[in-house]
Copies of this chain bind each other. A is one copy, B any other.
Amino acid sequence: MARVYVGGVGLTKVGRHFDKGLIDLAAEAAFKAIDEAGVEPEALVVGNMMSSSLQHQDNLGAYIANGIGLRGIPAFKVEAACGSGGAAVHAAFNMVKSGVYNAVLVVGVEKMTDYPTAVVTEALAQAADAEYELFYGASFTGLNALMMRYYMEKYQVSRREMSYWPVMMHKNAVANPYAQIRREIKLEDVERSQVVADPIRLLDSSPIGDGAAAVLLVSENIASKLTEKPVVEVAGSAMATDTVELSNRESLDAMPAAAQAAKKAYKMAGVEPRDIDVIEIHDAFTINAIILLEELGFAPRGQAAKQLAEGRFAPGDKPTANPSGGLKARGHPVGATGVYQVAEIVMQLRGDFPGVKVDKAEIGLTANIGGDGSSLIIHVLRRV
């Protein structure tokens, strides 16, 4: 089977871009990725969740393709809620691996800040089950709060132990020029911050922001001509799903789809968790990161928060978790997040990430969640 490489990446700073629409954001990220690779994309896959709800704009593939100067190329949108970006990379990965395309651009883009919070909250909630959850008044944060409370009770994890994750994320983000929030916080700040949905507090939650990320996937033929930077291979790309509604899950303290997708991605790449140097994982809420660390094989069940409290997964440790600052502090422009993760890991492996660097990183992993664990997309990336 053909191999798939990353020809270039591009990011915009996550934030409140009142002066920029979907096309402006997409263009900024896409141009960087195309410039790095020095090749024109043959197709475009857009990762986006909410353009239909917020911008009232569908047909997003053609819309972005034409808007960023790529009129005519094959283009479509991939949606998997908050996992849209990762799923778009997975679709594009297959388009290059098939041999049909030599260069496929993935652009994850989301514009969230021009709308009343209630409108955005409702749009985000569409990641949950409309009939069995939203109809009864559940918010997306409320559903994640159920998972956090259950986990803390079952494994006797304290509020203090949960607080180490957001503190580390804010610290990591300070050096990241693309991060939305570049400000350190203390454990007490997390614990005194406003309750959003008990036990989730404001500083357990990712902010709302606009952003775009681009990754240009290329065939071996093109990758072999790239000389300016180390080349990174997409060594593993896998997905798995679970019930959208929490009520039918086997347990609230687990995300089995993460373990299933990771198993496939590890196998495809021929690696194990202990081989991974750096990870970017989905922490829309603190509890997401804790469960992912366990499902991906980096901590025993019920132990991730306790290990974080002991300094594990910080810069210098293997794997280093979310040197970007993660969704918590780099930000979470929803449909773009999975593409941010891949772009950030690529830069880590090339050694040119402009924030917290992971020295001599050779193998990295991304974990992007859609819903509260219903869509999981895992990528394993390797410096060639």
Residues on A facing B (Cβ under 8 Å): 1-2, 21, 43, 49-50, 52-53, 55-63, 65-66, 71-81, 83-84, 87, 90-91, 93-95, 97-101, 122, 126-131, 134, 237-244, 248, 256-257, 260-261, 370-371, 374-375
Contacts of A79 in B (CB 8 A): 52, 58-61, 76-79
Chief secondary structure at chain A's binding surface = mixed
Contacts of A63 in B (CB 8 A): 129, 244, 374
A324 to B85, CA, bound (A): 37
Q: Copy number of this protein in the oligomer?
A: 2
A66 to B122, CA, bound (A): 23
Sorted from nearest, which 3 A-B pairs have the closest CB atoms? Answer: A74-B239, A97-B98, A59-B81
Q: Tell me the minimal C-beta distance from A38 to chain B in angstroms.
A: 23
Contacts of A261 in B (CB 8 A): 74
Q: Contacts A81-B59, A371-B59 given; indicate if A241 touches B126 (C-beta within 8 A).
A: no
Measured CB to CB, the nearest residue on chain B to A371 is B59
Q: Is the CB of B61 within 8 A of A87?
A: yes
Q: Contacts A52-B53, A77-B79, A98-B98 given; indicate if A242 touches B60 (C-beta within 8 A).
A: no
Q: Is the CB of A76 within 8 A of B87?
A: yes
A251 to B283, CA, bound (A): 48
Identify 25 residue pairs between A and B in the complex whose beta-carbon atoms are under 8 Å apart, listed by A's number: A56-B130, A57-B130, A59-B83, A59-B128, A59-B370, A60-B79, A61-B80, A61-B375, A62-B81, A62-B243, A62-B370, A71-B241, A71-B242, A71-B243, A72-B260, A73-B241, A74-B90, A74-B239, A74-B240, A75-B239, A76-B79, A78-B78, A91-B95, A97-B99, A97-B100
A1 to B57, CA, bound (A): 36
